[in-house]
Amino acid sequence: MYQYDSYDQQTLNERVAQFRNQTQRYLAGELSDDEFRPLRLQNGLYLQRQAPMFRISVPYGHLASRQLRKLAHLARAYDRGYAHFTTRTNVQFNWPRLEDVPEMLAELASVEMHANQTSGNCIRNITADPFAGVAADEITDPRPWAEILRQWAAYHPEFAFLPRKFKIAFNSAREDRVVLRVYDIGLDLVRNADGELGFRVLAGGGLGRTPILGEEIAPFVAWPHLITYCEAILRVYNRYGRRDNLWKARIKILVRALGAAEFRRQVEEEWRHTKDGPDTLTVEEVERVAAHFAPPPYETLPARDPGFESLLDADKAFAGWVRRNVREHRRPGYASVVLSLKKTGSAPGDIRAEQLDRIADWADRFSFGEARMTHEQNLALADVRQADLHALWLEAREAGLATPNIGLLTDIICCPGGDFCNLANARSIPVADAIQQRFDDLDYLHDIGEIELNISGCMNSCGHHHVGHIGILGVDKNDEEWYQVSIGGCQGNDTTLGKVIGPSFARDEIVGAVERLLDTYVALRHEDERFIDTVRRIGIEPFRERVYENRVHKRKTVHV
Amino acid sequence: MSERIIRNGRVVEDTRQLVTLAPGADPAETAVPAGAVLVPLGVWRARRDELLERARSGELGVWIDAGEDVSLLADDLAALRVIGVHFPRFTDGRGYSTAALLRGRLGYSGELRAFGEVLRDQFNYLTRCGFDVLQPRSGRYDAPALEAACASIADFTEPYQHSASHPQPLFRRARRGTPSPSHP
């Protein structure tokens, strides 16, 4: 993975020193709350009534074992022994004291980590395929490009006070695994007819209160122009994005107001002046960064390991885990493992310090010292020999990280919700827990098959409920927690926004509503049809009818 | 009346008067005092011919607000020696793009002054975008605080990006590191 040079390290150290000084001046009363707010947000720190929150950046989700150990240490020293993994490959801690944050940043900097621009109206952490470099369907490795753009975005002098937050993702494979169309800029790595590498550029996607899918604004931008083209988009947005209304300030609103064609025209006009300028990438720079992502020293192995094959036959539980949690690898004899952070009884995405330490050890022993975060809030070991899978599984099972549920109903994407987040309208973790408890039977889960259930505690949509096959959104009605249900959303190549099925549910009704949705699916599905396929075939009406049929209204139904 | 401002990284006294336009006021009728002044874009555009000589001498400068289009000054840049950019709120980042365009696209090399809600913690970004004069709101910093604030201009010594202060991005101006096999 990318290793800092002296410039990276010096710049990061200067950032830590800058924030230490800012924190001191704030505590001394020299900076007002309003003046300090964007500074601390751009260093990852939210101050909230119930619990502060400190969000650490994990660029494109890559973690070295020593970084995992550092997170474990921070969890023990400054938090209550655990961390939370988010849908944007960030790591969140909940109880840091403001006074401690500069020291936490210094500790992170010692392992080439930071909390830069993880909040605030700036360019946020850039995401990419968790299976970069190992996926069989990859067009090219996105990580060098993501790292190049990370450096460009870090402390960018012009774009630190945008109208609103700004998120960029790379897709690099035939199957989109980053939900490219929900990003402010989505960069799709493609080759043109001449085999030249470049980017299909999408802009104006985003979830939140007004979910919009990004539109293509350039079919092909050749690789040397990555920075200048992004800069042109950012400059148009910085100058013309709305600043009068927080809810209309994202770039998606600008793109929609102008129309994609006019937005494209403005970007191209801006780009005309900067194209081929100093920010044009050089072969030398791209090769320099790409060298950091050279393949690890793989062994030459047979395509199928005989020991692994016989254990698959002998151990049904192991085979079940392999079926759900192990992915094909590009190299013969290797596999990628997804460690589930969705064990029933623990909040989705939460991980304890001792689990982080265990994963660091497994990364060192089994996967060239690296792990990757997925936007589904799980953790992957990308380069495991087939021969090691059983040993890894035994240990992961003991550590509570081998729940064989990847892609199944209980692999819920879920934000921290009202238990932790000030923005939330409702709690989300108890809903996820109730669903996991109710549908804990593995045979039932396998019968339901692949399904994505996403929960957000408010319209900010951190739990990506709009793109869940089943999406659950917490809403506040007269100080009560209610939940709106949508179905038919989908991530991936055919990303779709779900449709709301009807009036929202009280918390004690929500598991029953999910159960009726699943019963409807089981009753009406064709053979080998996934939940989402059934919804697409028959529409939401049959689901709506059955979910609300004979519904007992304990309280006045609230329409949203 | 004199104010303390930062010019090229040092605190200096400055007597330039800011002329503002009352809501609904006619730019053509707005009084422009004698001496060093900074007048609104609207006044400049209404009375360009009358004010041109004072602009050429540097006595009169023009300021543009966050939402105003800097390209409206494109044809005047040869005459102008002082341009101000107003920051109505320090979180309003439009002025950074205004400066980047003036310095980069339009080739403006005269004084570029940031005024309004201009705070120490943005000095580094402001100067990198091309502001050489920083004028925090009157009274925001006392004399020692303003002296101390100059240190923030140098918060980052080797930024990644190309900008007004760094004509080349880091990857073109430095020999960057390659991966080391012994890296932990």
**Rounded Cα gap, residues A201 and A219, in angstroms:** 6
Q: Which residue, among B81, B87, B94, has the nearest Cα to B16 in the 3D structure?
A: B81
Total count of residues recorded for chain B: 184
The answer for residues whose C-beta is within 8 angstroms of residue A170's C-beta and 6 or more apart is: A60, A126, A127, A128, A129, A142, A145, A146, A178, A187, A188, A189
Collapsing DSSP to helix, strand or coil, B87 comes out as strand
Residue of A110, A114, A239 to mutate when probing chain B, most B C-beta within 10 A: A239
pLDDT digits (tens, 9 = 90+) for A122-149: 999 999 999 999 999 999 999 999 999 9
Question: CB–CB of B39/B31 below 8 Å?
Answer: no
Flag if A5 and B177 touch (Cβ within 8 Å).
Answer: yes
HEC profile for A403-422? CCCCCCCCCCEECCHHHCCC
**Structure confidence at residue A553 (pLDDT):** 60
Residues of B in contact with A15 (CB under 8 A): 156
**Structure confidence at residue B184 (pLDDT):** 44
Q: Beta B82-87 vs B111-116: how paired, if at all? A: parallel
Residue of A126, A149, A158 to mutate when probing chain B, most B C-beta within 10 A: A158
Closest residue in chain B to residue A297, using alpha carbons only: B181
Residue of B153, B155, B170, B171 to mutate when probing chain A, most A C-beta within 10 A: B171
DSSP B141: S
Q: How far is B54 from chain A (nearest CA, A)?
A: 30
b/e sequence A75-99, b meaning 16+ C-beta within 10 Å: bbebbeebbbbbbbbbbbbbebeee
Residue A493 phi/psi, 5° resolution?
-60, -35
Q: Do the two domains A143-290 and A413-548 of this chain adopt the same fold?
A: yes
Flag if B125 and A160 touch (Cβ within 8 Å).
Answer: yes
**Rounded Cα gap, residues A477 and A472, in angstroms:** 15
Does domain A413-548 fall into CATH 3.40.50.300? no
**Rounded Cα gap, residues A273 and B101, in angstroms:** 10
Tokens 């598991």 -> residue: A511
Residue A133 phi/psi, 5° resolution?
85, -15
Within its chain, how far is the Cα of A51 from the centroid?
A: 22
**Rounded Cα gap, residues A499 and A484, in angstroms:** 10
Rounded to an integer, the average pLDDT of B3-23 is: 96
Q: Beta A334-339 vs A326-328: how paired, if at all? A: antiparallel
Flag if B91 and A121 touch (Cβ within 8 Å).
Answer: yes
**Rounded Cα gap, residues B97 and B77, in angstroms:** 17
* DSSP string over A184-214: SEEEEEEE-TT--EEEEEEE--B-TTS-B--
So where are chain A's domains? 6-109, 143-290, 306-398, 413-548
Q: How far is A316 from chain B (nearest CA, A)?
A: 38
First to last CA, chain A: 46
Task: Return the CATH class of domain A306-398.
Answer: alpha beta
Q: What residues form DSSP beta bridges with A496?
A: A490
Rounded to an integer, the average pLDDT of B42-68 is: 97
Percent of chain B with pLDDT over 70: 97
Q: How far is B168 from chain A (nearest CA, A)?
A: 6
In a domain, B175, yes or no: no
Q: Is A283 on the interface with B (CB under 8 A)?
A: no
Collapsing DSSP to helix, strand or coil, A436 comes out as helix
Q: Which residue, among B5, B9, B10, has the nearest Cα to B38 in the 3D structure?
A: B5
Q: In this structure, is the dihedral angle defined by the CA atoms of residues A278, A282, A284 and A287, taken in order, positive or negative?
A: positive
Strands (E) in A285-399, as ranges, are: 326-328, 334-339, 350-352, 370-373, 379-385
Closest residue in chain B to residue A18, using alpha carbons only: B155
Q: In this structure, is the dihedral angle defined by the CA atoms of residues A439, A445, A451 and A452, taken in order, positive or negative?
A: positive
**Structure confidence at residue A47 (pLDDT):** 86
Question: CB–CB of A181/A202 below 8 Å?
Answer: yes
Domain count, chain B: 1
Flag if A11 and B92 touch (Cβ within 8 Å).
Answer: no
pLDDT digits (tens, 9 = 90+) for A262-297: 999 999 999 999 999 999 999 999 999 999 999 999
Residue B179 is nearest to which of A11, A18, A291, comparing CB atoms? Answer: A291
What count of CB pairs under 8 Å joins A to B?
118
Range of the domain at B23: 3-155
**Rounded Cα gap, residues A106 and A462, in angstroms:** 28
What CATH number should be reported for the domain holding residue B16?
3.20.20.70
pLDDT digits (tens, 9 = 90+) for B166-181: 999 999 999 998 887 6
Residue A238 is nearest to which of B97, B124, B169, comparing CB atoms? Answer: B97
Q: Which CATH number does the domain A6-109 belong to among 3.10.450, 3.30.70, 1.10.3470, 3.40.50?
A: 3.30.70
Q: Is A18 on the interface with B (CB under 8 A)?
A: yes
Q: Is A328 on the interface with B (CB under 8 A)?
A: no
Flag if A158 and B183 touch (Cβ within 8 Å).
Answer: no
Flag if A7 and B177 touch (Cβ within 8 Å).
Answer: yes
**Structure confidence at residue A239 (pLDDT):** 98
In a domain, B86, yes or no: yes
CA atoms within 13 Å, Cβ hemisphere of A260: 14
The chain B residues in contact with chain A (CB within 8 A) are 90-94, 96-97, 100, 104-105, 119, 121-122, 124-126, 128-129, 145, 152, 155-163, 167-172, 174, 176-180, 183-184
Q: How far is A442 from chain B (nearest CA, A)?
A: 40
**Structure confidence at residue B182 (pLDDT):** 52
| Alpha-carbon dihedral angle through residues A283, A284, A288, A289, given to the nearest 10 degrees | -40
Collapsing DSSP to helix, strand or coil, A479 comes out as coil
Question: CB–CB of A465/A443 below 8 Å?
Answer: no
* Amino acid letter, A463: G
Residue B161 is nearest to which of A39, A152, A291, comparing CB atoms? Answer: A152
Total count of residues recorded for chain A: 560
The pLDDT mean for chain B works out to 95
Confidence band for B2, pLDDT divided at 50, 70 and 90: confident
CB count, 10 Å around CB of A532? 23
Residues of A in contact with B182 (CB under 8 A): none
Asked whether the ipTM of the predicted complex exceeds the cut of 0.85, the reply is yes
Q: How far is B10 from chain A (nearest CA, A)?
A: 20
Q: Which residue, among A58, A67, A156, A54, has the nearest Cα to A111 in the 3D structure?
A: A67
**Rounded Cα gap, residues A175 and B58, in angstroms:** 60
Q: Which residue, among A44, A94, A75, has the nearest Cα to A419 in the 3D structure?
A: A94
| Alpha-carbon dihedral angle through residues B11, B17, B18, B19, given to the nearest 10 degrees | -170
Closest residue in chain B to residue A161, using alpha carbons only: B93
In a domain, B75, yes or no: yes
Q: Is A239 on the interface with B (CB under 8 A)?
A: yes
Q: How distant, in Å, are the alpha carbons of A141, A489, A540 from that of A531? A: 32, 11, 11
**H-run or E-run covering A108:** helix A101-109
Within its chain, how far is the Cα of A92 from the centroid?
A: 13
Q: What residues in chain A have per-residue pLDDT under 70? A: 49-50, 552-560
Residues of B in contact with A155 (CB under 8 A): 125, 156, 159-161
Q: Beta A505-506 vs A480-487: how paired, if at all? A: antiparallel
Flag if B93 and A278 touch (Cβ within 8 Å).
Answer: no
Flag if B129 and A239 touch (Cβ within 8 Å).
Answer: no
**Rounded Cα gap, residues A248 and A239, in angstroms:** 15
Q: Is A257 on the interface with B (CB under 8 A)?
A: no
Give CATH superfamily name and number for A143-290: Sulfite Reductase Hemoprotein, domain 1 (3.30.413.10)
b/e sequence B32-54, b meaning 16+ C-beta within 10 Å: eeeebbbbbbbbbebbeeebeeb
Collapsing DSSP to helix, strand or coil, A356 comes out as helix
**Structure confidence at residue A50 (pLDDT):** 66
DSSP A217: E
